[in-house]
Structure 1
Amino acid sequence: MSALLEISKLSFSYGDLRVLWDVDLEVRQGEIVTVVGSNGAGKSTTLKNVSRLVRPGAGTLRFAGEDLTRLASHEVVARGVIQVPEGRKIFPEMTVLENLRMGSYPRNTRADRERNLERAFTLFPRLKERERQLGGTMSGGEQQMLAIARGLMGNPRLLLLDEPSLGLSPLFVKNIFDIITEINRQGVTILLVEQNVFQSLRISHRAYVLETGRVVMSGPGEELLGNEHVKKAYLGI
């Protein structure tokens, strides 16, 4: 199966601080691929490079065969690469419905707005119940649901999820990972960045372990769950 996203020899620095070192990674059509690692390993920076929120220092990023490094961030979005950022970043003074409509702001998604709203409300019935509520007045778990649903409004070919379980209660964490699995089952390819190693590897087709900006291990999610280094370093076993 050919890769939908190909990252080759990606390097990146914040000023004099090197964050990524020759990262190689690929995501194939229909997969859930997870990047796991401790805080500061470079996981979120990898996603920011894919979204073109930052400029790579070296290396190539290709999506469906096209060089992403030549594109601006809004052009990446127009091609169907949609990021749900860490910390949710919803619009707190807008209602749930207004937040969702902002997700279909790009011109090429507006014709599908009503269909995508229906899908969002089917996946997240709680959002339908609260469609007139201001986003900033909802719980953290509800805001995360809203952030993911807003991302789906953009017709993603590749959905980038940055720490979707961060700060959530155990019940909401399980719910979020179940929903990620369902979104993938509906045909959306997903690149997931997560500190919850057990839950993310459990649902992943493949995964990469990132440590101090370098890929140190990769393989099927279930295989990495059984790896001794992963169990000791990230699962406390």
Structure 2
Amino acid sequence: MIGSPIVIGKRKADEAEKPFWISFSDLMSALMVLFLVVMTVALLTVTQHLRDVQKAAGQRQQEINEILERLKDSARDFPQVHISTERMTIDFGEVGRFASGSDALTPEALDLLRGFIPRVLAEARSALGQKWFKRVIVEGFTDTDGSYLFNLDLSLRRAQRVVCTLLTPGAEGRASLTDDEMAHVRRLFSVGGFSFNSSKESKEESRRIELRLDFRALHESNQPGAGPTMGRDLATIEVGRCQLR
């Protein structure tokens, strides 16, 4: 008993340290669990958002396809009209072609445009049309004869000729758009010139006009003031006279 070493306070010191290290380990484990929970929630949120976007994009495409299919049904009354659902374009076959170096439309082409375009305008005023229709771009094309700048001007004049035709009353006994339809043309139609880009197999097929249908992107506003017109109604602008001769 007298020779045995006496240790004072060691067991108590060890016992005092153990709870501290256990608490620190528990804290790290809790932080790790919290991190995993936060990451899981974040991943689920991102995944759900992507699913919502994909679902909305699919719904948009489905509704646009429905618009195009209805236009194709309308085109059955006009055998010369061809609608591409892939390219989202409308062309008028041989009737919509021009003579070399000319921007003049034939009487048959004038009647076809004034007869079919109201179908396009009616579709643009439908519920789905108001939701997705953005604009109709009239594109003119030329063959490869002549210089680049000559054909650039000619293709633009061909596209302008179409708009002039739609905004000019037809001769007596010929088809014409109503005042309301002409107002909608001013709101919806724009013009583009493409020189001899997108040439066809023959020069005759290249000398043509096409209508390209442009639809709104997801979440793109369809309210007045959201576009470059700054809320101004283009239908209120005076039509004036066609400057083409």
TM-score with structure 1 setting the length: 0.29
Greater relative contact order: 1 or 2 (C-alpha under 8 angstroms, separation 6 or more)?
A: 1
**Higher strand content, 1 or 2:** 1
TM-score with structure 2 setting the length: 0.29
**Higher helix content, 1 or 2:** 2
Higher Rg: 2
